[in-house]
Amino acid sequence: MSENKTLQPTTIIIFGATGDLAKRKLFPAFYNLYIDGRMPKGFNIVALGRADNTEEYFKTYIKENLESFSRKKVTAGDWAGFQAHITYFQHQLDEEKSYQDLHEKLDKFDTVYGTRGNRLFYLSIGPNFVSTISNHIKNTSLASDPQKDRIIIEKPFGHNKQSAIELNSLLAETFEEEQIYRIDHYLGKETVQNILAFRFGNSIFEPLWDRHHIESVQITVAEEVGVETRGSFYEQTGALRDMIQNHLLQILCMVAMEPPASLESGEIRDRKVDVLKAIRRISPETVDQYAVRGQYGKGTINGVKVKGYRQEDGIAENSNTETFAAVNFYLDNERWQDVPFYVRTGKKMKEKHSYITIQFKPLPHSTFSESSQLLSANKLIINIQPLMDIRLQFMTKMPGLSLDLKPVEMIFDYFACQENTPEAYETLLLDALLGDLTLFMRSDQVEEAWDVVKTIQEAWENSKDSSFPNYDAGSWGPEDSFTMVERQGHTWA
Ligand code: BG6
């Protein structure tokens, strides 16, 4: 996204550097950027962790993880160059002394580098620590230059609208809005970024992109994985907070937004906020009509028997947490009035598949036989992952002597362009290093997104679902999610 910006010398300070995200995503992303020559000339990664590790031990641990998680091969030469940029410090998140020590060390680095470099703080830690770290950074003046210092914050950003507002105002005591990078890694995915190019870089689709031509929009993010080792975090979170409030609503924004006047970050973020504001709020009385929750029981995925959610580690045996959520949204605006937007996401589903389906309206009158007419609605499918392609479905005459029609697809396959596309974190970290906020969430976006799901969240928190578990692992979710869509005369694609 950031073609016109240049990289400045930067010290990257990772809080939670021994955690899961750092080992699977952050270090591999920095390593790949390094190999691609996309890191700043002078950069330093200061890894902070609670444990009293030696630097040597930490580097060996990072190297081993790079071998498992890096997109590019780890060669001796590249590793030797990269590791020289890493330093490990023991750090206690809640002790001011740790921040004072860090300050001294960063100052020393600045002397070595000759200039006061940029500082990029990455909070790869649980949401409960964000305010503690931000306060300590403020008290010890670690981020004293608004032109040079930035902070990246992982989702979930708060746990509801009120807590997000409070967190935003707390961060505002230390950082200006332009210094805050609230990450939603779905926005870094190639296929999600391409929605903008597809819609606004072509003249043929946009004229059809409205209520007059589109019957419904569906967004599915199905996961095969369960909660893995994150049981206690997930118990407090659930699918609505973990996925819909952020990833799925962000995709919805990309599909539904008005054309931005430019690619300037403020402009794009404004257009997205417009969408979130236009989403009709679901009243408490109608939550059951427009939203469905589910929790998986035991089942079979790819021929392997798996346990139910309530049997996973760290999960209460009578847990009320949803591992599946589907919502039927409407947008009250000129372009989308009355077009249903169906979104769904779930864990331990039949297969990993994230995709968007734009279902066009059927023909008002068909020249062909009735059965052909039934098939005639055109579809555009944007496969986000693991398939990465765009498919346009249209009707064609079957070769032969009779006039039989059948749907066929025209496919654009990403892998035909480039086999090894950068990971979302590479794109987003590079943008943060460059100071490009476009793909990050602004405070009002996050607050609006919480507002969109507020009534559903409250209704689900306040009532137990006695039907849980209500879908088998390895299925496409609870029956009610199909019924919700069928009520409007549609089916999940
Ligand atoms: C994270 C959620 O934000 O996204 C996880 O917390 C989820 O629960 C993950 O599994 C999915 O990301 P991806 O990139 O694997 O689709």
pLDDT for residue 165: 96
Dihedral of CA atoms 259, 204, 423, 117 in degrees, nearest 10, equals -40
Q: Is 20 annotated as a binding residue?
A: yes
pLDDT for residue 371: 61
Q: Is residue 343 included in any domain, yes or no?
A: yes
Among 154, 169, 198, give the residue marking a domain's end. 154
Instruction: Retrieve residue 413's tokens.
Output: 């396959």
Among 135, 154, 173, give the residue marking a domain's end. 154
Q: Is residue 300 included in any domain, yes or no?
A: yes
Q: Is residue 169 included in any domain, yes or no?
A: no
Structurally, how many domains does the chain consist of?
A: 2
Pocket test for ligand 1, best of 24, 185, 347, 425 (most atoms within 8 A of CB): 185
Q: If you average pLDDT over residues 188-196, what whole number do you get?
A: 95
CA of 243 to the centre of ligand 1 (A): 7
Beta strands at 149-153 and 296-297: parallel, antiparallel or unpaired: unpaired
pLDDT for residue 375: 59
Confidence of residue 1 (pLDDT cuts 50, 70, 90): low
Query: Can you give the residue range of the structural domain that contains 57?
Result: 10-154
pLDDT for residue 420: 76
CA of 435 to the centre of ligand 1 (A): 25
Q: If you average pLDDT over residues 186-190, what whole number do you get?
A: 95
User: Maximum CA pair distance of the chain?
Assistant: 84
Give the number of the atom of ligand 1 that is nearest the alpha carbon of residue 247.
3
- Name the strand (E) or helix (H) holding 80: helix 76-83
In tens, the pLDDT along 247-257 reads: 999 999 999 99
pLDDT for residue 365: 79
Q: Is residue 167 included in any domain, yes or no?
A: no
In tens, the pLDDT along 12-31 reads: 999 999 999 999 999 999 99
In tens, the pLDDT along 114-124 reads: 566 799 999 99
CA of 221 to the centre of ligand 1 (A): 9
284 and 231 share one domain? yes
110 and 15 share one domain? yes
Which residue is it, tokens 């444990």? 51
- Among 160-164, 337-341, 404-408, 417-421, which is the least confidently predicted range? 417-421
Q: Distance of CA 46 to CAs 11, 19, 84, 145, 219, Å?
A: 7, 14, 11, 19, 39
Rounded Cα distance, 87 and 284, in Å: 51
Q: If you average pLDDT over residues 143-148, what whole number do you get?
A: 92
Asked if 232 and 314 count as a contact pair (C-beta separation under 8 A), the reply is yes
Q: Is 155 annotated as a binding residue?
A: yes
Task: Tell which residue, 384, 420, 428, 385, has the closest CA to residue 26.
Answer: 428
Residues with Cβ < 8 Å from 410, sequence gap 6 or more?
Answer: 391, 392, 394
342 and 419 share one domain? yes
Say yes or no to pLDDT of 3 above 80: no
In tens, the pLDDT along 387-414 reads: 999 999 999 988 999 888 888 999 999 8
Asked if 86 and 43 count as a contact pair (C-beta separation under 8 A), the reply is no
pLDDT for residue 287: 98
Q: Is 352 annotated as a binding residue?
A: yes
State the catalytic residue, choosing from 91, 159, 212, 247.
247
CA of 397 to the centre of ligand 1 (A): 42
- The DSSP secondary-structure symbol of 285 reads G
Q: Is residue 245 included in any domain, yes or no?
A: yes
228 and 371 share one domain? yes
Give the number of the atom of ligand 1 that is nearest the alpha carbon of residue 189.
14
Give the number of the atom of ligand 1 that is nearest the alpha carbon of residue 230.
8
Q: If you average pLDDT over residues 297-304, what whole number do you get?
A: 96
In tens, the pLDDT along 382-392 reads: 999 999 999 99
134 and 196 share one domain? no
Pocket test for ligand 1, best of 26, 243, 249, 384 (most atoms within 8 A of CB): 243
pLDDT for residue 373: 52
Q: If you average pLDDT over residues 58-73, what whole number do you get?
A: 96
The single-letter code of the amino acid at 88 is Y
pLDDT for residue 487: 94
Pocket test for ligand 1, best of 155, 184, 186 (most atoms within 8 A of CB): 186
CATH of the domain at 79: 3.40.50.720
Q: If you average pLDDT over residues 136-162, what whole number do you get?
A: 94
The percentage of the chain sitting over the pLDDT mark of 90, rounded to a whole number, equals 85
Cis upstream peptide for 469 (omega within 30°):
yes
Task: Supply the residue whose CA is at minimum distance from atom 15 of ligand 1.
Answer: 223
Task: Tell which residue, 230, 225, 256, 265, has the closest CA to residue 385.
Answer: 225
In tens, the pLDDT along 351-369 reads: 999 999 999 998 887 787 7
Confidence of residue 229 (pLDDT cuts 50, 70, 90): confident
pLDDT for residue 117: 76
- Among 21-30, 228-237, 259-268, which is the least confidently predicted range? 228-237
The single-letter code of the amino acid at 252 is L
pLDDT for residue 166: 95
143 and 197 share one domain? no
Give the CA angle between residues 239, 241, 244 to the nearest 5°.
Answer: 70
Q: Is 223 annotated as a binding residue?
A: yes
Task: Supply the residue whose CA is at minimum distance from atom 8 of ligand 1.
Answer: 242
245 and 143 share one domain? no
Instruction: Retrieve residue 168's tokens.
Output: 């935003």
Q: Is residue 164 included in any domain, yes or no?
A: no
Say yes or no to pLDDT of 374 above 70: no
117 and 266 share one domain? no
Burial (CB < 10 A; 0-12, 13-18, 19+), residue 207, is: exposed
pLDDT for residue 244: 98
Q: Is residue 430 included in any domain, yes or no?
A: no
* Catalytic residue check, 247: yes
pLDDT for residue 2: 56
CA of 138 to the centre of ligand 1 (A): 31
CATH of the domain at 303: 3.30.360.10
CA of 185 to the centre of ligand 1 (A): 8
Rounded Cα distance, 322 and 312, in Å: 14
Say yes or no to pLDDT of 418 above 80: no
Asked if 276 and 448 count as a contact pair (C-beta separation under 8 A), the reply is yes
145 and 215 share one domain? no
The single-letter code of the amino acid at 219 is I
Rounded Cα distance, 426 and 35, in Å: 12
CA atoms within 13 A on the CB side of 374: 4
Q: Is 242 annotated as a binding residue?
A: yes
Q: Which residues line ligand 1 (CB under 6 A)?
A: 155, 185, 223, 242
Among 104, 129, 154, give the residue marking a domain's end. 154
Asked if 157 and 441 count as a contact pair (C-beta separation under 8 A), the reply is yes
Give the CA angle between residues 70, 75, 77 to the nearest 5°.
Answer: 130
394 and 460 share one domain? yes
CA of 187 to the centre of ligand 1 (A): 12
111 and 200 share one domain? no
Confidence of residue 448 (pLDDT cuts 50, 70, 90): very high
Q: If you average pLDDT over residues 268-279, what whole number do you get?
A: 98
Task: Supply the residue whose CA is at minimum distance from atom 5 of ligand 1.
Answer: 242
Q: Is residue 268 included in any domain, yes or no?
A: yes
298 and 366 share one domain? yes
Dihedral of CA atoms 243, 192, 186, 433 in degrees, nearest 10, equals -160
Cis upstream peptide for 207 (omega within 30°):
no
Q: If you average pLDDT over residues 485-493, what whole number do you get?
A: 94
Q: What is the pTM of this model?
A: 0.94
Give the number of the atom of ligand 1 that is nearest the alpha carbon of residue 186.
14
Pocket test for ligand 1, best of 220, 228, 247 (most atoms within 8 A of CB): 247
Query: In terms of pLDDT, which residue wins out, 194 or 108?
Result: 194
Q: Is 107 annotated as a binding residue?
A: no
Dihedral of CA atoms 316, 317, 318, 323 in degrees, nearest 10, equals 70
In tens, the pLDDT along 301-323 reads: 999 999 999 999 999 999 999 99
pLDDT for residue 42: 87
